Amino acid sequence: MNKLTQNQITNLLESMSEADMVVSLYMPMETVGRETRGNSIRLKNRLTAAREQLETAGMDHREIDTLLEEAMRFEQDREFLEHQSEGLVVFVTREQTKYLKVPISFEPLTVVGPRPHIKPLLDYFANDSQYFVLALSQNQVRLFRGSRYHIEPIEVEEMPQGLEEALRYDDPEARLQLHTTPQTSTGGRGAALYHGHGDVETDDKTRLLRYFQIVDKALQSVLAEETAPMVIAAVDYLVPIFREASSYNTILDDHIGGNPDNLSPQELHEKALDILEPLFRQKRQETWDSLAAVQGDEQVVSNIIDVVQVAFQGRVETLFMTAGSPRWGQVNQSTGEVTLEDEPSPKNIDVLDFAAVQTLKHGGDVFVVTEDDEEKSLSEPATAVLRF
């Protein structure tokens, strides 16, 4: 699947902002083998739950059939059901039906209300830290943008595809003759050899350094404003030479060793995550520490109604929330006034879901407390750290 972005969710919310009712369906899915046959049942169960909620709300059977018609077609779509990610999300309004295949599993959930319910998706965004992988050899250069769940190649204009191409018209006064000879060892193309004046090792490093300076210049067109960590994939002796040439400030100390030319994007993704996991854990710890540092201050709000109101006002810098049960209620879209209710209904929303959407809309961060946080917990379902 293509990477799901926060902008896509924002656009989805906007596209359904005029709907009087939205059905939100979440379910885990199987991705391979005979187990995918059960995906039809999982979807059918969510649609059955939606039908029951709509009947309870007073909608007649024909109207329900019309509303759910497109989503019900997915039950019989074998190709759709067999090509899934770990989780499936379906949003249904009177005007449209949208689905998202997401690489995280969900607890089965059906919500009928006046807006899309997105809280189960927040764990995806809260844990989706960004990074880059630069796969580097004398034969080719590949740049990837990655996250915990996804990796994709980035096209870089002016990027030379190998040392020979980079130096073919570079440094003519060196009078070098660059040619390629077959390797005697297994795997890979010929190695570039240089014949010129001076010490061979010094000449080799000089040419590699110049090659990497050309690579770095090309990368600047993509990475000039970026700060995400970068993992280098290269044979060991190339890494310090590239570091010397590079202007990128957040290259990690550890790297993926060996020639990366034959590694697939998924293999690079898995190897990069092995290096990045300690960094991701450190970032979560730092986020917890930032909350502990301001606990008890006026900058921290934990009452549910207050949290929703400050989020509506765009005052939340970081929203901490549990991934658990919803808090039902209604929010006045003009004043931000909050009324809590005990039960779900087509008129009620999860007000914490609303607070999260408002926080993201105004440029804040949402931090979802998960099982990975072990002994850490919140005393309330949500806590907001304010900007001011």
Q: Which amino acid belongs to residue 256?
A: I
Weakest-pLDDT range from 242-246, 282-286, 288-292, 375-379: 375-379
| pLDDT score of 198 | 39
CA distance 146 to 159: 19
CA distance 263 to 261: 6
Weakest-pLDDT range from 11-20, 86-95, 240-249, 265-274: 11-20
- 113-156: per-residue pLDDT in tens? 998 998 888 877 766 678 999 999 999 999 999 988 888 899 99
What residues have CB less than 8 Å from 359, skipping those under 6 apart? 311, 316, 319, 365, 366, 384
Q: Which amino acid belongs to residue 44?
A: K
Residue 166 predicted with pLDDT over 60: yes
Mean pLDDT over 155-165 rounds to: 90
Closest C-alpha to 377, from 385, 368, 386: 368
Residue 185 predicted with pLDDT over 80: no
- Kindly state the tokens that stand for 215: 């690579």
Mean pLDDT over 10-35 rounds to: 88
372 and 323 in contact (C-beta within 8 Å)?
no
- Kindly state the tokens that stand for 96: 């449209």
DSSP 254: -
- Kindly state the tokens that stand for 83: 């090509």
97 and 19 in contact (C-beta within 8 Å)?
no
The pLDDT confidence band at residue 70, using thresholds 50, 70 and 90, is very high
User: For residue 199, how far is the Cα from the chain centroid?
Assistant: 48
Q: Which fold is adopted by the domain 1-116?
A: 3.30.960
71 and 97 in contact (C-beta within 8 Å)?
yes
| pLDDT score of 235 | 96
| pLDDT score of 175 | 38
Task: Establish whether domains 131-166+202-280 and 295-388 are of one fold.
Answer: no
Across-strand partners of 386? 316
Please report, for the chain, the start and end positions of each structural domain, with discontinuous segments joined by +: 1-116, 131-166+202-280, 295-388
The pLDDT confidence band at residue 257, using thresholds 50, 70 and 90, is very high
Q: Which fold is adopted by the domain 131-166+202-280?
A: Nucleotidyltransferase; domain 5 (3.30.420)
246 and 216 in contact (C-beta within 8 Å)?
yes
For domain 295-388, the CATH class is alpha beta
Q: How many CB atoms lie within 10 A of CB 379?
A: 7
Closest C-alpha to 135, from 272, 237, 250: 272
Residue 186 predicted with pLDDT over 90: no
Residue 190 predicted with pLDDT over 50: no
Report CA dihedral (359, 364, 365, 366) to the nearest 10 degrees: -10
- Kindly state the tokens that stand for 70: 């497109």
162: left (phi over 0), alpha (psi -120 to 50) or beta: left
Sign of the dihedral through C-alpha 4, 9, 10, 14: positive
> C-alpha distances in angstroms, 232 versus 15, 229, 238, 260?
40, 10, 10, 10
- 331-382: per-residue pLDDT in tens? 998 898 999 998 888 889 999 999 998 998 888 888 888 666 655 667 788 9
327 and 303 in contact (C-beta within 8 Å)?
no
Mean pLDDT over 165-169 rounds to: 83
Q: Are strands 316-322 and 365-369 parallel, antiparallel or unpaired?
A: parallel
